Structure 1
């Protein structure tokens, strides 16, 4: 499995892919200055 996580100034993005690059799950959400809380929710 491959996990990608991007925490920016206004949003968090997450992707989970298998070894072949097939996306299994993804999310894109505003964190409203609560970056750590949003990452834990993912």
Structure 2
């Protein structure tokens, strides 16, 4: 599992990643939120 900053650091401007993702769950409570996502990495 990667922390958010580590994951974002893998992206390069203008370069296609070929990843396929979908949001499985979002929970919002007042001014905080959490999301569960699935990302397929070929």
Q: TM-score, normalized by length of structure 2? A: 0.30
Q: When you count helix as a share of all residues, which structure comes out higher? A: 1
Higher-Rg structure is 2
